[in-house]
Amino acid sequence: MNRNMNAAKALVLAGTVLLSACSNNSNASSPSPAPAENSEGMKLEILAGNVGGKTPEGNTQFAQALSEKTGLEVTLDKPASDYDQKVLTALSSGAKYDLIEVSDLAKLNALIDQGVVTDLTGFVQDSKILSDPSVIPTGEWEQLKGPDGKIYGVFSKFQGATMPIVRKDWLNKLGLQEPKTLDELYTVLKAFKEKDPDGNGQADTYGLSTAGLYDIQGIMSAAGLKYRYVLDNGKRTLPYATDAAIPMYEWFAKLVKEGIMDPNFITNDTAKMRNLFLTDRVGMVTYWDAWVGMFNNLKQQEDAATTFQAAGMAGLQAADGTILMRRGDPDFWIIPANAPHPEAAKKFLEFWNTEDGITLGSLGVEGYDYALDNGKYTLTDTGKEANMDHGVPYWYNTTVKPKFPALPGVEDAMALSREYATLELSLPTWPDAEKIVTNYALKAMAGQMPAGEAVEQMQKELKAANLID
Amino acid sequence: MRLIRKNSILYIMMLPVILYFIIFAYYPLAKGLQTSFQEYKLMGERPYIGLDNYRQVIHDPTFWDALWNTLYIGGGILLAGFLAPLFIALSLNEVMKSWFKRTAQLVLYVPHLLSWVVIGGIFIFLLSPDSGLVNLLLVRVFGIQPVNFMADEAWARNIMIVSAVWKDMGYNCILFLAGIAGISPTLYEAARMDGATRWQQVRYVTLPQLMNTMKVILLLNTLGIFRIFDQIFVMRNPAIAGKVDVLMMYTFQKGIMEIRIGPAAAASFFVVLFTLVLASVVRKTTRFDEV
């Protein structure tokens, strides 16, 4: 009997140990930052979504190079998929990282609210590197401030804007000019549909393709409508849900009805949209400025004598002359409140914005992604596949010059982004509002519902849910 | 006690399984329940707030929309996903050529092995308004305008039902065929001697003898109603989201996309509750315990 009792006690004890091993230690989730330490030889644990190698082997090489260059013992955790879930699971389970890459400003606000992020205001202001406007323009820091005005992140790269991207060679072939107004755009898109711009003798081209509602800002610009929230005298408004949007939705519905617009635009993901553009099926897409260069480069690599020429376009002019374009949310690093080595993380953040850091983040690892011989850079096959993007295809630091000429067309596209693109206002209620706006906007654009009725329904539901004032 | 000691080796063998369930099922369940009563923050204090999270969920109209969508889509899958494989299994049972039977089973079973990413892609492609096979048939054979099935709310839920039934039909069909194979041939022989036709043999021998298999399949499929997620995640788009977003999608959006862990945990406990209620009703009405 005694033996049985002892066995039972042992079992209970074993179970307790097991459970406590799984439990979330309250100390582990404490928001108090670790004390400052000497960072030499210190560990640095990074959770990244974009930064790193393109393969597990490339990632190992990248972490090793990072360790050598920073003097830190770097562990780079780069999940192959489901990054948001991985971040959330890591944070809620008390897993400790010194740096986490984030790509969504709405998420930053949520993370601030959840007590996850460290205030970096003092660090940024005191850092000779980060406070230098030639490294990161002073005004840019506004993006990474929380509602309390404190800085909670450091940029990992320069984020561009989305814009209409047009087949310039098709425009030239059909003797058309780059459109500036909605009417001109209609003429161009109709010609792309009807005048056989690819010259294959078949009516198999579309004028325009998009992937949902996300990137049509450059076209909605014609009516002066900004995506997401706009505060009007402190009141929350959603321009896409106002009466001014009705003629724009009607315009899209006309394109769909006349077969000018790709009818799959609602179910398209961006990869499908890009494929249509690259396979001569569509004359215009709405996408990132950086892709202007990548489109051209991909086609040139496929066939050096290609006539394919993609060009970025500014958004359409509104009646008052304004042009609206959508600046993407930045990619940035946060230091979690439970980071075990915040000093190492800060050292990395400074390094990441220097020439060495930018070269690593763009070209990759020397000897693996590129070779350097007498000051001349050459990409290896692995480096070519990575497309000079290891998390930093473009950067803020104006003192660091690209090691290779820019991809064709990208500089002009980015110049447009810098001139016209502005950030969107993402209030905490946006995820709920977005469902209503996109649902009715897409129906109106597809011609499934009269645009006036769609906007009326939007307004009714948004007001009922207290999502607009 | 003596009995335990006598069978101690068996109990020790059960330990890993018990530990597995405690660690990977019951502990997370208990933790989730605790979270549903907290103002849960990823770091820092997590004060208890009573039933606030549950109240938030109950007062959220999208939760009730998601519940209705779940019942509609899940109910459709349950019904059609039960009848279609039963019909196919009964039909295949009548096929005399065994190679045809085996080939048909294989062809029917293959979709079950594919992930929803593949199946979703196939359906989106098949139903595409410009190049999809279905619309090509509608336009060229019937001369009617193409339908944008995947963007039309009127079709959305039914497409989810059809694709789910198509995917799992082979699996359920094999279960039914296994049940049919287990029926004693003497029963058919006796029925034939009594002058029963083929239909009467099916009606009065096969179906009653399959009752236990049917109960098991019905209960298993019922338990799956509230767990629909992958399919919706892959096949939804903003134009049809209001008609196809199910409860697991609601939980995912609250928890992962909006980082509102407390309400997400509360919503997931509603899912647990609904599943328990539904499973109990099915057990009672089918007299499952008499299997």
Cβ-proximal residues to A305 (8 Å cutoff; 6+ apart), any chain: none
The Cα–Cα gap between A13 and B179 comes to 46
The Cα–Cα gap between B82 and B218 comes to 7
- Of chain B residues 121-180, which have a CB less than 8 A from chain A? 124, 128-130, 146, 148, 150-152
- Region A427-455 average pLDDT: 92
A401: which DSSP letter? -
Helix (H) or strand (E) holding A185: helix A182-194
Dmax over CA atoms of chain B, in Å, equals: 80
Residue B38 in domain = no
> How far apart are the CA of B259 and the nearest CA of chain A, in angstroms?
7
- Angstrom CA distances, A373 to A66, A369, A377, B96, stand at 21, 14, 7, 74
What pLDDT does residue A423 have? 86
- Specify burial of residue B113 (Cβ count, 10 A radius: 0-12, 13-18, 19+): exposed
Number of domains in chain B: 1
Backbone angles phi, psi at A74, to 5 degrees: -95, 135
The Cα–Cα gap between B175 and B184 comes to 17
Stronger pLDDT, A81 or B290, i.e. the higher one: A81
Contact list, B43 vs chain A (CB under 8 Å): 29-31, 91, 114-116, 336-338
Cβ separation of A91 and B258 shorter than 8 Å? no
Can you read off the two tokens belonging to residue A259? 């077969």
**Minimal CA–CA distance to A135: which of A396, A418, A355?**
A396
Residue B275 in domain = yes
Q: Report the CATH number at residue B99.
A: 1.10.3720.10
A416 pLDDT higher than 60: yes
The Cα–Cα gap between A440 and A446 comes to 10
Decide if A27 touches B, using CB distance below 8 A.
Answer: no
- Of chain B residues 80-99, which have a CB less than 8 A from chain A? none
- Average pLDDT for chain A: 88
Cβ separation of B44 and A84 shorter than 8 Å? no
Cβ separation of B259 and A110 shorter than 8 Å? yes
- Angstrom CA distances, A260 to A164, A208, A450, B144, stand at 15, 7, 19, 19
Chain centroid offset of residue B69 CA: 14
Each residue's pLDDT expressed in tens, for chain B with a length of 291 residues: 788 888 889 989 999 999 999 999 999 999 999 999 999 988 888 899 999 999 999 999 899 999 999 999 999 999 999 999 999 999 998 877 888 888 988 899 999 999 999 999 999 999 999 889 999 999 988 888 889 999 999 999 999 999 999 999 999 999 999 999 999 999 999 999 999 999 999 999 999 999 999 998 998 899 889 999 999 999 999 999 999 999 999 999 999 888 899 999 999 999 999 999 998 998 888 876 665
Residue B46 in domain = no
Give the ranges where A311-354 is alpha helix by DSSP (H): 342-352
A5 pLDDT higher than 60: no
Residue B6 in domain = no
Instruction: Please give the single-letter amino acid code of residue B142.
Output: F
Name residue A230's beta-bridge partners: A237
Complex ipTM value: 0.79
> Domain range spanning residue B269?
62-114+161-290
Task: Give the best residue of B1, B38, B42, B159 to mutate against chain A (max A CB count within 10 A).
Answer: B42
A97 pLDDT higher than 60: yes
> How far apart are the CA of B101 and the nearest CA of chain A, in angstroms?
38
- Region A75-90 average pLDDT: 89
Give the ranges where chain B is alpha helix by DSSP (H): 2-6, 8-21, 27-36, 52-58, 61-94, 98-113, 116-126, 133-140, 153-181, 185-193, 198-201, 207-209, 211-224, 230-235, 241-244, 247-252, 261-286
Residue B249 in domain = yes
Residue B15 in domain = no
Strands A99-102 and A43-47: parallel
CB B231 within 8 A of CB B164: yes
What pLDDT does residue A91 have? 86
CB A240 within 8 A of CB B238: no
Contact list, B24 vs chain A (CB under 8 Å): none
B42: left (phi over 0), alpha (psi -120 to 50) or beta: alpha
Contact list, B128 vs chain A (CB under 8 Å): 263-264, 267
**Minimal CA–CA distance to A223: which of A185, A190, A276?**
A185
CB B264 within 8 A of CB B63: no
pTM for this prediction: 0.81
Contact list, B130 vs chain A (CB under 8 Å): 262-264
- Specify burial of residue B107 (Cβ count, 10 A radius: 0-12, 13-18, 19+): exposed
What pLDDT does residue B248 have? 95
The Cα–Cα gap between B125 and B132 comes to 6
State the Cα angle at A31 between A25 and A36, rounded to 5°.
Answer: 110
Residue B185 in domain = yes
Residue B224 in domain = yes
Decide if B255 touches A, using CB distance below 8 A.
Answer: yes
**Minimal CA–CA distance to B61: which of A225, A443, A348, A436?**
A436
